[in-house]
A = this chain, B = another copy of it.
Amino acid sequence: VKNDYKKDNSFSNRGMNFEDDIQTSNEFYRSQGLAVIHKKPTPLQIVNVHYPKRSAAVVTEAYFQKPSTTDFNGVYKGMYIDFEAKETKNKTSFPLKNFHAHQIEHMKAVLEQAGISFVLVHFRVHEEIYLVPGTFIVSWYESKENHRKSIPKIEIEENGFPVKTGYHPRIDYLASIDKWINGK
């Protein structure tokens, strides 16, 4: 099964990136009362803050911290939704070096709590997006033979769910969740 992210005309040449498109889709979902899903802010370690008179506080020294979780989470029809967005320029596989160990640990913890965990994988060259269940990513990551390698694209196609793109929402991953969870 294939899909066509950015191949259709309404979508091309927008100059937006994958995460922005997901955020725009989340805003659409929220505005329609379909789901409440947000991107977590980038965590910063704040070292110095300046408090000028008559104007807003300014952070004058801060450092980027590694996120200890995934990019997005929220709620859809009572279900806890938790996912990571990943892109690759690779044509034939999705390299697992895209993941930090703590992200995998987070996915496992979410799965243990019966949350809906997945990765949205964007193959840039093909302009295709797949929803790949967290269980599949975790088991591939933890198998000794596959560790630190890549998941062949054909495996992603067989174990994942294609994500349709369009104008609103740009990246319709809720439809893919429905197919995955409810088989429709």
Q: Which residues of A contact B (CB under 8 A)?
A: 30, 33, 35-36, 38, 40-44, 46, 56-64, 68-69, 73-82, 106, 109-110, 112-115
Q: Report the Cα distance A75→B112, complex, angstroms.
A: 10
Whether the Cβ atoms of B80 and A59 lie closer than 8 Å is no
**Which residues of chain B have C-beta atoms less than 8 A from A80's C-beta?**
74-75, 78-81
**Subset of 10 A-B contacts with CB under 8 Å:** A36-B106, A36-B109, A56-B63, A57-B63, A75-B80, A75-B110, A75-B113, A78-B79, A78-B113, A79-B80
**Which residues of chain B have C-beta atoms less than 8 A from A58's C-beta?**
61-63
Answer whether A64 and B59 are a contact pair too, CB < 8 Å, given A41-B42, A41-B43, A115-B36.
yes
Whether the Cβ atoms of A35 and B113 lie closer than 8 Å is yes
Whether the Cβ atoms of A62 and B44 lie closer than 8 Å is yes
**Which residues of chain B have C-beta atoms less than 8 A from A59's C-beta?**
44, 59, 61-64
Which of B42, B68, B76, B114 is A113 in contact with, Cβ under 8 Å?
B76
Which of B38, B74, B76 is A68 in contact with, Cβ under 8 Å?
B38
